[in-house]
């Protein structure tokens, strides 16, 4: 997401080439790419520049939009705000918890599914369903399920002795929003891992089992090493999505109780659209963007590193 990359490609498309035919071919491709690239430029590079400018400004909305130069004011405020750093720590904890559980659970379910000989298709469809649900709806249904007076899951918890308001208690609220995310996105890891498992060469497994390798050693030494790349793809895709989506928390706890679930994007929304401190919010936005770009860089390197898609 930077201007240099766009401009770097432009001279090439218009550059005259020695062979007339190949020159025409490049301009044809350029013409096909142009509408998308131009529109995307408006929707990605202009916002990026705006975001950077905003982060150095005081943004006034009343009586027409005005940007007033504020120097490093927003930056120093953000970088020295202990609440924001606490949100980052919480975000890290939330990422590690959701991604960790989703990866382990997803891989385990995929291994289990790969052993199913008959009815694997329908089973897979059932397991995939949560992925298509709108996260905001997942959050709302989560609230319905955990409501202390009539929630189904709250009722189960009461039967086993936990009778507090699940979303009202800092620890259980954090666990609840984590599990909602796990519910929705583990299927994605299952889907990707299963594709990886089915690409493992069956003859290698056959040979290993003839050599007397048991299931566990086969998994540990043959299957897992051969799907590392695919698991890495799953992890990177999920981590980028984890930075993107926060709807579940917004509609369930909105960061509460006592900031126990206030991850960074929620703080950005609060700063930007409740206190209309858009300059400060822009700093938080840029911090998040840097994180995504680092992950995206790793992802692209993984894709192109081996000269082919894994």
Residues 259-288 that bind another protein (CB under 8 A): 264-265, 268-269, 272-273, 278, 281-282, 284-286, 288
- Which residues pair with residue 68 across a beta bridge? 58
Tokens 């992802």: give the residue.
299
210 binds another protein (CB under 8 A): yes
Are 291 and 243 within 8 A, CB to CB?
yes
Residue from 200, 256, 257, 260 in contact with another protein (CB under 8 A): 200
User: Mask 156-195, x = binds another protein (CB under 8 A)?
Assistant: ---------------------------x---xx--xx-xx
Say if residue 156 is exposed, middle or buried (CB neighbours under 10 Å; 0-12, 13-18, 19+). exposed
Sort strands 57-60 and 66-69 into parallel, antiparallel or unpaired. Answer: antiparallel
298 binds another protein (CB under 8 A): no
12 binds another protein (CB under 8 A): yes
Residue from 78, 173, 174, 196 in contact with another protein (CB under 8 A): 196
14 binds another protein (CB under 8 A): no
- By CB under 8 A, the residues from 57 to 86 that bind another protein are 59, 61, 65
| Rounded least distance, CB 302 to another protein, Å | 8
Residue from 89, 137, 171, 258 in contact with another protein (CB under 8 A): 137
Are 75 and 159 within 8 A, CB to CB?
no
DSSP character at residue 101:
H
- By CB under 8 A, the residues from 41 to 60 that bind another protein are 43-44, 46-48, 50-51, 54, 59
Question: Read out DSSP for 45-96?
Answer: IHHHHHHHHHHTEEEE-TTS-EEEE-TTHHHHHHHT-HHHHHHHHHHHHHHH
């Amino acid at each position: 997401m930077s201007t240099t990359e766009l401009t770097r490609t432009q001279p090439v498309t218009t550059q005259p080439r020695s062979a007339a035919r190949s020159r025409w071919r490049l301009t044809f491709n350029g013409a096909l790419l142009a509408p998308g690239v131009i529109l995307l430029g408006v929707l990605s590079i202009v916002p990026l520049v705006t975001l950077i400018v905003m982060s150095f400004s005081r943004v006034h909305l009343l009586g027409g939009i005005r940007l007033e130069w504020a120097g490093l004011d927003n930056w120093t405020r953000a970088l020295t705000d202990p609440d924001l750093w606490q949100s980052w720590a919480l975000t890290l904890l939330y990422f590690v918890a959701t991604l960790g559980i989703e990866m382990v659970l997803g891989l385990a379910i995929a291994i289990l599914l790969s052993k199913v000989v008959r009815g694997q298709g329908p089973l897979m469809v059932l397991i995939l369903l949560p992925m298509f649900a709108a996260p905001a709806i997942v959050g709302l249904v989560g609230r319905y399920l955990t409501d202390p007076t009539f929630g189904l899951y709250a009722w189960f918890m009461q039967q086993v002795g936990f009778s507090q308001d699940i979303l009202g208690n800092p620890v259980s609220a954090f666990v609840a929003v984590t599990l909602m995310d796990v519910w929705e996105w583990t299927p994605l890891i299952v889907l990707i891992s299963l594709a990886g498992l089915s690409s493992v060469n069956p003859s290698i497994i056959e040979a290993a089992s003839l050599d007397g390798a048991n299931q566990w050693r086969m998994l540990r030494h043959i299957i897992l090493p051969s799907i590392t790349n695919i698991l890495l793809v799953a992890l990177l895709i999920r981590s980028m999505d984890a930075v993107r989506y926060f709807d579940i928390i917004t509609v369930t706890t909105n960061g509460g109780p006592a900031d126990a679930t206030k991850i960074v994007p929620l703080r950005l929304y609060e700063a930007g659209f409740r206190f209309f401190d858009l300059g400060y919010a822009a700093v938080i936005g840029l911090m998040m963007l840097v994180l995504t770009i680092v992950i995206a860089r790793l992802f692209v390197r993984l894709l192109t590193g081996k000269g082919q898609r894994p």
